[in-house]
Chain A
Amino acid sequence: MPDGAFISDDMPVTLEGCATVGELFLHRCREKGDAVAHRDKDMGIWKSFTWRDYFDNSKLVAQGLMELGVQRGEVVSILSEDRREWLYYDMAVMGIGAIASGVYTTDSAKQLAYLVNDSGSTVLFVENDEQLDKYLEVKDDMPGLRHVIVFDRDGLRDFSEDKVIFYDDLIAKGEAAEKAHPKRFEAELEKAQPEDTITLIYTSGTTGPPKGAMISHRNVMFQLSAGMEVLESFAGDEQLCFLPLCHIYERLITVYVQLGVGSTVNFAESVETVFDNLREVSPHTFACVPRVWEKIYSSVQILRSEATGVGRWSMDQAIAAGIAKVKYKEKGEVVPAGVMARFKMWDALVLRNLRRMLGMDRMRRAGSGAAPVSPELLRWFAAIGVPLLEGYGATETSGVASINTSDDNNIGTVGKPMPHTEIKIADSGEILIKGGNVFKGYWNMPEKTSETIQDGWLYTGDVGRIGNDGALTITGRIKDIIITAGGKNITPAELESRLKFSPYISDAVIIGDKRKYLSCLIMIDQENVEKYAQTKAIPFSDYASLCRAPQIVELIGTEVDAVNKDFAQVEQIKKFRLIDILLTAEDDELTPTMKLKRSFVETKHKPLIDSMYGE
């Protein structure tokens, strides 16, 4: 196919001769055989699992599911933390032509029931007793479920109930079935058509109930083949998986990109240990959300502040040398020899160690997506020699639609469209996307689908602009646009991402629709603000009292003022309040990727908001 040309719907998309994910899975597992596909940590020790294990386990799960009577086109839900078995389920379900749908472990029982019913799932995989209890709580509301498969038997030894079986029972069924019908799984794998739905990805649903986006084999194959053209990925690459696999971002990278390139996926033990796991694995490519990059940045800032005078000085010198180099690169100019030499020296003295300490010494490409990231943060990582590149996409574009690459990185933009993808801006400012990555539609929601896809163009709901260099800049969500009482249109995303760059601010929501002025609700970064309070001897007991401390309010005030300086009068934040409850992913206000949800924040913290518009 011609470079950059658009691929029409009837043209096949293939990678290494495979047109479906099923074929690719079969091909990759056969090719790689005993090479390591996955690693996870068991009782503190990393264990390796091969591609053969991947295939064989997926096959047994698939055979077991077929014994349970799962038909092509049925939906199977998965409620589990990231683990290798998640992938076995996923490939098994995909392999037999059924559709996998992920449920976040942070979802409540009620949400689980909604997702199971909306998707019409007939089988539910749950990880352990904790998740099983969610099923038991709402089982009467989910009449369509025929089977529940529990992975972990711990704490459930004496448990038995109608419909519920355990993973080992399923594998035993699968083994028997494999003896009776050998090669049945392989045959099923080859039945898949490119247009078949491979998975449902439920959008986080900041407005209204979640919608299941149907992703097809072709969508995934398109992403992989387009990705191969611009992203250098190699078979020996190590990856680290820790974001929820129910989200398209981690799913694409951990499941599909791995199949595409034959890399090794390492599963982090938990979200809490991810920085340790990062150091242990030292991945070649790493994709995560801005919040994680912000956290890494602030942890280095804290280290710096605790270092000796000499340590601080050399750190500052090294960063300055890095920034100087980055400035030339950003302008597309050749870096002068002197600047380069200075950078090389500081790189050898400081930055190399810093990267090793962060577990980024082998990192060839780091990605940030799923939320806006501040340009300063990207420059800082570039300065320390970590190529952090921002991309853009949505569930509806099967993950990625535009991306910066190491050769062509426009900081502050989300990069140029992926190969064979067209992006244009509608008169309303809305970003429209056309390409093989545009999803099939929403599950059982034809009206929503026809609203979202018109004439082959996906209406993303995001607003942005395309620069002269062809790179896309996102300015916000259409629904988020704030029109102040004075009639001024403001897209809050820019202000918010600038605020989040402060090590003391974890997230922020700008308020001001139909109001006299802009205000802001702020979630502080607990760790860094506690450290600050401690060094400044500001007494506090729990989180709420920390948020109440006048010196802390003052600290956040100066951070807000610093951001305000760069904006025009009407775009400035006049008042702010701190959310004094420590939110967790279980709370409605946070998405599973720990972003504040505007609509929930606005309703749940209404008194706090009203207090800023009193008098």
Chain B
Amino acid sequence: MNAPAPVLSMKNIETFYGPIMAIRGVSIEVPKGQIVTILGANGAGKTTLMKTVSGVMDPEKGQVVLEGQEIQGKDPDHIVRAGVAHVPEGREVFPFLTVHENLMMGAYTRKDRENIADDIDMVFEYFPILKERRDQQAGTMSGGQQQMLAIGRGLMAKPKVMLLDEPSLGLSPLLVQEIFAIIKRLNAEQSVTMMLVEQNANVALKAAHYGYVLEIGRIVMAGEAKQLLASQDIQEFYLGQTGESQRGQKRWKRKKTWR
């Protein structure tokens, strides 16, 4: 792909759950300043791939390279320090800490303590609701607010690359639009590099520059987001468009060709 040098790249990753091979040889590149999305159905291996990057799981084979340094197999805290922030599926904010404390937890690994206050202001600027609720316990907030907090907490680490695992999960369509608008702004204005895992292919491809489609642990398709949006297979299997039918309804699926 014609893009800036990759901040993060994965080469021939294989990851197992015991005897089950969840990632069966995946190579992905995340160029600097871009959003790369990984699409896939349940069980395709998207989250496993994220966990392999952030060090929660170790690959059996292959390399994860962050700015030229191999980071696979290292402990998660080391990888956070190296510059990878993981915003996990289901937000996982600290429920009994306040919004402010949660954000401070995100900055825990930083050495430049003096800039933290500015960054908190920056997060508040993108997510004004968090400012309003800065002293509220995170666990008492709505799902959308928690998602915003989780993203904000990720930003506080000043990451080189941010991993977003299904930010749209369990949110109303309006909130999804709102959050993705902010994700796009963060990328454009703060040039945050992101790897975005999504089931909601429509919003993900509209936000991303480049996309990969993962099926049972393998990449079956890769391309510019625009190109993927135009692909018949993506439209039918990920965007739920069944195309024209003779009967006005259609139960069978066309065969996937991935072109």
Contact = CB atoms under 8 A, between A and B. Distances in A.
Asked if A and B are interacting partners, one says yes
B30 to A, nearest CB: 12
Interface string B237-255: 0000000011101111001
Interface of B: 11-12, 14, 24-28, 61-62, 212, 218-222, 245-247, 249-252, 255, 257-259
Contacts of B251: 129, 154-155
B53 to A, nearest CB: 15
Contacts of A534: 12, 14, 24-25, 61
B224 to A, nearest CB: 13
A563 to B, nearest CB: 28
A133 B27 contact: no
A78 to B, nearest CB: 19
B124 to A, nearest CB: 38
Contacts of B255: 584, 586
Closest CB pairs A-B (n = 7): A155-B251, A136-B246, A539-B27, A130-B252, A534-B25, A541-B222, A541-B219
Nearest to B246: A136
A533 interface: yes
The listed residue with most B CB atoms (<10 A of its CB), out of A137, A154, A159, A537, is A537
Given A129-B252, A582-B259, A586-B255, 7 more contacts: A136-B246, A155-B252, A530-B218, A533-B25, A537-B61, A541-B28, A541-B222
A581 B257 CA distance: 9
B12 A543 contact: no
A539 B246 contact: no
B12 A538 contact: yes
Contacts of A542: 219-222, 258
Nearest to A134: B246
Nearest to A154: B251
The listed residue with most B CB atoms (<10 A of its CB), out of A128, A129, A539, A545, is A539
Given A128-B252, A537-B62, A133 B25 contact: no
B3 to A, nearest CB: 14
Contact of A539 (B12, B221, B258): B12
A581 B245 contact: no
Contact of B11 (A133, A136, A539, A581): A539
A545 B221 CA distance: 9
Nearest to B27: A539
A133 B12 contact: no
A522 B10 CA distance: 29
Contacts of B245: 133
A129 B254 CA distance: 12
Given A581-B259, A584-B255, A541 B212 contact: yes
B256 to A, nearest CB: 9
Contacts of A582: 257-259
A540 interface: yes
A541 B27 contact: yes
Interface in A56-109: none
Contacts of A136: 246-247
B247 A159 contact: yes
Contacts of B61: 534, 537
The listed residue with most B CB atoms (<10 A of its CB), out of A533, A542, A545, is A542
Interface in A365-414: none
A530 B216 CA distance: 14
25 contacts: A129-B247, A129-B250, A129-B251, A133-B250, A133-B252, A136-B247, A137-B246, A154-B251, A155-B251, A155-B252, A530-B218, A533-B12, A534-B24, A534-B61, A537-B12, A539-B11, A539-B27, A540-B27, A541-B27, A541-B219, A542-B221, A543-B220, A582-B258, A582-B259, A584-B255
Nearest to A540: B27
A541 B220 CA distance: 7
A586 B233 CA distance: 15
Nearest to A587: B257
Contacts of B249: 155
B216 to A, nearest CB: 13
A130 B28 CA distance: 36
Contacts of A537: 11-12, 61-62
A545 B26 CA distance: 12
A390 B250 CA distance: 43
Contacts of A533: 12, 25
Contacts of A128: 252
Interface string A559-588: 000000000000000000000011010100
A584 B25 contact: no
Contacts of B258: 542-543, 582
Contacts of A586: 255, 257
Nearest to A161: B247
B222 A545 contact: yes
A579 B165 CA distance: 35
B110 to A, nearest CB: 33
Nearest to B245: A133
B40 to A, nearest CB: 13
A583 to B, nearest CB: 9
A545 B223 CA distance: 10
Interface in A530-559: 530, 533-534, 537-543, 545
Contacts of B222: 541-542, 545
A171 to B, nearest CB: 23
Contacts of B24: 534
A130 B246 CA distance: 10
Nearest to B257: A584
A133 B247 contact: yes
A543 B223 CA distance: 12
Interface in A111-155: 128-130, 133, 136-137, 154-155
A282 B255 CA distance: 29
A133 B246 CA distance: 6
B249 to A, nearest CB: 8
Contacts of B218: 530
A523 B142 CA distance: 53
B209 to A, nearest CB: 15
A544 to B, nearest CB: 8
Contacts of B11: 537, 539
A287 B14 CA distance: 37
A539 B250 CA distance: 38
Nearest to A133: B246
Nearest to B213: A542
Contacts of B247: 129, 133, 136, 159
A452 B112 CA distance: 87
A271 to B, nearest CB: 11
A253 to B, nearest CB: 26
Nearest to B223: A542
B44 to A, nearest CB: 14
Contacts of A539: 11-12, 27
Contacts of A543: 220, 258
A586 B232 CA distance: 15
Nearest to A106: B255
Contacts of B25: 530, 533-534
The listed residue with most A CB atoms (<10 A of its CB), out of B14, B24, B219, is B219
Interface in A297-347: none
A422 B24 CA distance: 54
A534 B212 CA distance: 18
Contacts of B12: 533-534, 537-539
Contacts of B27: 539-541
Contacts of A545: 222
Contacts of A154: 251
Nearest to B222: A541
A530 B218 CA distance: 10
A133 B11 CA distance: 43
